[in-house]
Structure 1
Amino acid sequence: MSRRTLAAGGLATAAALTLTALPATAEQSVRFPSARFPLGTRPVPMKTMTTVTQGIDLYDVKAGTHTDGYTVTVLMPNGRDFGTLANAELKVAEVEAAGESASLQKVVRPGVADSPSQTVYMVRVGLWAFKDKKKAEKTAAKLKDAGLKVKVDYLGDDGLKTTGPWNAKVVLIDSRTFRGSYAASIGTSVAKRETVSSMAKASKALVGVNGGFYNIHTSPALRGEPLGASVVGGRLLSEAVPGRSAVVLKGRTAKITELETSVTATSEDGARTRVDGVNRAPATDELVLYTQEFGAKTPTGGVDALLDANDRVLRLRPSGHAVGAGTRVLHGRGLAGDWLNEHAWEGWTVEIDTRVIDLRTKKAIPLTPDLHVVAGGVGLVRNGEVKITAKRDGHDSMNMILRRHPRTLVGTTKNGSLILAAIDGRRPGETIGANFVEAAQFMRWLGATQAINLDGGGSTTLVVGKKPVNRPADGAERAVGDALLVLPR
């Protein structure tokens, strides 16, 4: 069995990422860094700056050059592009039986704060210059005809050694001079998705950026549901994933922390029970609260207790109806439906107690009208140091940690200034995006002492004024679950 090593374009028999030591950040204000770019060979970045308004500057940042080419990656039995050594060796034999020479590549996914490093193996066939992609496609077609599952891979996407390039848009908001405020938006409803530019336009925002991940695994009619805490104007519209990172906005202040939420229903007869979710599809025996922002009918097959603004039960009804203005609905099925039938009689009061807890301070955050929360996907920087919490935040995978994607990032500085960044990707030869380690290094370089990753990929959108200033990877702006907005007042 022959094995050869692909040494150019970032391929090697073993590869891993290392953290780059960065200089201390400025404490007095937020400003574009003077240090060399933190990624790749650390080139001097090119930047242009546009003043949006007092205290808000937009930077167009470009760094690096493309030297990566293409290869053909052989998929493993589980459909992934990596696997165990034993499976990789079997694939090498299959490739060679098809008349091609294969390379067995050892890849080390770097360890993060809550997950150790992982060693996997990939099988690659050929190495072509950037201009020769069609040759890679021809080889891929031959292997497919031989019964192998393969894909053409641009090596800049791997997450291993690269020279770039990177293209990012960065908004720096100086807490000393900014006179506006911050807000979250779920668009016209929780259930439906909407573009960032549409949400920004409706709120007359100066700047808008896509928010956290949304639920693509629920009913198509409900896929605007944020995966994590969402608070808009002091109203909890989606419960937290306990411990997941979030950005808490209040007036012109922004804080990054971890949250948990609790919602409790207490009947007039003293019976008390937990509310399992807010504005989402229920599971068996769950009690879910629906607010007027839900924007869809409650699920069928359960019981609805319709509450007025003072938590008085207007009536019990079969489920499957819209939530009217000024009302809320407690929906239960199974055991939760039984609880409503026993303790939510018409005319009774069922008090809803909603709490949002800051897990760093262990204190409740008052749900005042100026409070807004956008949930993040992964913690990146904590107290000035790289601390990537991929496992806790549900993204402990090779694809999310190591491979490069477009990224939407938010950070705060020591003096409370806000940093918003959109790193474009998935455009070979123009911009490659970032993996989690690179995203953390990038935010530290910009001066963030706290930073998190929001939704990325085709969702990455940064709007200034009325339109995106980056280039979304889908080729057009994607509708998303929520957005973080910067308002003029």
Structure 2
Amino acid sequence: MNSRKVTRGRAFGASALALAAMAATVAGASPAAAAAGTLPYDEVETVARGVLLGQFTLTASHGTVTGYVLTADLADPRVRVGLLTPGSVAAREEVSGLADAAGAVGAVNGDFFNISEEHAGVTPTGSSDGPEIAAGRALKAAVPDSQRFGPAMAPGDTTKDVIGVGADRRARLDSLTLEGSLRTRDGSLPLTGYNQYALPEGGIGAYTSDWGAVSRQRAVCGSDTSRAAACSTDTYEVAVRRGRVVSVADAPGAGAIARGTTVLVGRDAGADSLSALHVGDRAAVSEHLAASGTRVPFAFAVGGFPVLRGGAPLAGLDTKTAATRTAAGFGDHGRTLYLLALDGNAESDAGLTVAEVADVMRRAGADDAVNLDGGGSTTLVTRSPGQPASQVRNHPSGVAERPVANAVGVFSTGR
């Protein structure tokens, strides 16, 4: 890290105490002096107004771990957080590229995604497990729990769980459930998927131009109990535009979907229902993501499984398997966001268990947190004043950045 360290007296708005605590730990204060937590930072630097980056080293159950925490003051009106995507749900890009394209001053990789395939001849989509909301607009819903990628979740966690920031500029944990329907002259059929790489058995999924050009074949593979289960052979696809069916097919297709067109993919019983439709029939599709908590709409949300709630680690978290991890959390009633990424290089690759991630996020100052994609995906980047492009600040476990499905970006207009 560079030498631009933070002094203890600097103010950053309503969450100044939480951010100044990072500086207090590196300035030699006792852990108790760090009101935002007790994580022992070796160094802290200012990335931009209201955005700090801290580096820490600690000894965990499997050895020495080096990590980085990007902290954003959401109470500062010049600071905001958003979802970074490659432009399509079924696509991947490096975190540095996502950050630079959006003008973010910092970012970490986001949700787990369809990175590989157990099904011969089926292309991995690169699409994430959980819901996505960007700039207040829903991009996708969650895949069935049985079809997710990632380590075991705590009891009660689901792929619908998200962390995000609402229109009130406060971060929160929530779950987002798809509510949608296909209405025809014969009645209404429920939607069980929206721009997602896997559908439940018997389901119908809607795909829009946000999906991208990747084949929709993966949607009919796997089952309600196994991600690796065979692909269904009972399938049907219907394209709807301006309230009318414009095409039908016996199998999921590929290629870009035109704006204003919705492609419906059915499997098993869902395929049987769709097969009753013919070109020219009336059909209307509607969908939205319903939050289980507050009515405040999300400005951004990304999938991740909760590990910390109300300052306490969740019961049932893995305490044995250590790995390079990424996490996101918040404190100060949602006014301060914490983004964590670990080193994954050979010199410091002990990693943390999921339970240890919860503890580290608590020590950083978070009251609530989620685990994000880790391993070779773990990447944290920043772009300081005068830099033409983002720099990778941690040491990814691969030889280069891994392209990922999405990222959490931090923005500041007060450099």
Normalised by the length of structure 2, the TM-score is 0.73
Name the residue aligned to 1:474.
Answer: 398
**Is residue 2:72 matched to residue 1:194?**
no
Q: Say which of 255, 274, 288 aligns to 2:205.
A: 288
Give yes or no for the alignment of 1:443 onto 2:357: no
Task: For residues 419-449 of structure 1, give each alpha carbon's deviation from its aligned partner in whole angstroms, at most 9, with x where no partner exists.
Answer: 1111224635x35221122211111111111
* 2:301 paired with 1:373: yes
Offset of residue 450 of structure 1: 0.7
Of the three residues 190, 197, 209, the one matched with 1:274 is 190
| C-alpha distance in 2 between matches for 1:251 and 1:180 | 13
> For the residues of structure 1 that align with 2:346 and 2:139, how far apart are their CA atoms?
38
The structural deviation recorded for 1:185 is: 2.6
SS in 1 for 2:99: helix
Deviation at 1:325, TM superposition (A): 2.6
1:258-407 paired onto structure 2 within 5 Å: 258-269=174-185, 271-279=187-195, 280-282=197-199, 285-295=202-212, 296-299=214-217, 302-308=235-241, 312-318=243-249, 319-322=252-255, 323-342=257-276, 346=280, 348-358=282-292, 361=293, 366=297, 371-377=299-305, 379-388=306-315, 390=317, 401-407=319-325
How far did 1:454 drift? 0.6
Q: Give the Cα–Cα distance (whole angstroms) in 1 for the partners of residues 365 and 277 of structure 2.
A: 53
For 1:353, what is the secondary structure of its paired residue? strand
Asked which structure has the greater RCO (Cα within 8 Å, sep 6+), the reply is 2
Q: Which moved more, 1:199-208 or 1:246-255?
A: 246-255
Deviations 1:19-51 (A, max 9, x none): xxxxxxx995343164549xxxxx994522221
Letter in 2 for 1:297: S
Q: CA deviation at 1:402?
A: 1.4
SS of equivalent to 1:222: coil
Q: Is the 8 A contact 1:289 1:329 kept in 2?
A: yes
The Cα of 1:349 is off from its aligned counterpart by 3.4
Cα distance in 2, alignment partners of residues 177 and 284 from structure 1: 46
Q: What is the aligned partner in structure 1 of residue 51 from structure 2?
A: 56
Please list every run of 5 or more consecutive structure 2 residues that lacks an aligned counterpart in the other structure: 1-14, 33-37, 146-156, 221-232, 384-389
Instruction: Quote how far apart the aligned CAs of 1:387 are.
Output: 1.9
Helix, strand or coil at the partner of 1:202: helix
Distance in 1 separating the partners of 2:142 and 2:110: 15
Report deviation, 1:317. Answer: 2.2
Residue 98 of structure 1: aligned partner: none
The normalised TM-score by structure 1 is 0.63
Q: Which amino acid aligns with 1:277?
A: G
Q: Superposition pairs for residues 71-90 of structure 1, below 5 Å? A: none
- Identity percentage over the alignment? 24
- 1:413 is displaced (CA, Å) by 0.6
Is the 1:29–1:176 Cα contact (8 Å) retained in structure 2?
A: no
Residues in 1 aligned to 2:144 and 2:332: alpha-carbon distance in whole angstroms: 26
1:453 paired to 2:371: yes
Q: For residues 294-326 of structure 1, what are the alpha-carbon distances to aligned partners after superposition, in whole Å with 9 as ceiling and x for unaligned? A: 122333974332233x6x124132242431233
- In structure 2, what is the equivalent of residue 232 of structure 1? 134
Secondary structure class of the residue paired with 1:440: helix
Paired residue for 2:380, among 458, 462, 471? Answer: 462
Kindly state the Cα deviation for residue 417 of structure 1 after the two structures are TM-superposed: 0.7
Q: Is the Cα–Cα contact under 8 Å of residues 264 and 272 in structure 1 kept in the other structure?
A: no
| Counterparts in 2 of 1:264 and 1:251: CA distance versus 1, 3 Å | closer
CA contact 2:345–2:396 (8 Å) conserved in 1:
no
Q: In 2, Cα distance between the equivalents of 1:330 and 1:364?
A: 29
Q: Structure 1: which amino acid aligns with 2:105? A: L
CA distance in structure 2 between the partners assigned to 1:55 and 1:372 by the alignment: 19
Q: Compared with structure 1, are the counterparts of its residues 263 and 364 closer, same or farther at alpha carbon in structure 2 (3 Å cutoff)?
A: same
- The answer as to 2:322 corresponding to 1:423 is no
Please tell me whether the aligned partners of residues 345 and 397 of structure 2 are also in contact (alpha carbons under 8 angstroms): yes
Name the CA distance, whole Å, in 2 between partners of 1:388 and 1:230.
26
Deviations 1:110-163 (A, max 9, x none): xxxxxxxxxxxxxxxxxxxxxxxxxxxxxxxxxxxxxxxxxxxxxxxxx74x6x
| Offset of residue 177 of structure 1 | 2.7
Q: Summarize the Cα distance change of 1:231–1:176 in structure 2 as closer, same or farther, 3 Å threshold.
A: closer
User: Equivalent residue for 1:486?
Assistant: 410
Contact 1:274–1:287 under 8 Å retained in 2:
yes
Aligned-residue CA RMSD (Å): 3.0
The unaligned stretches of length 5 or more in structure 1 are 1-25, 38-42, 65-158, 391-399
CA contact under 8 A between 1:344 and 1:350: conserved in structure 2?
Answer: no
Counterpart of 2:100 in 1: which secondary structure? helix
Equivalent-residue separation in structure 2 for 1:196 and 1:63 (angstroms): 26
Q: CA deviation at 1:376?
A: 0.7
Within 2, Cα distance between the matches of 1:251 and 1:47? 35
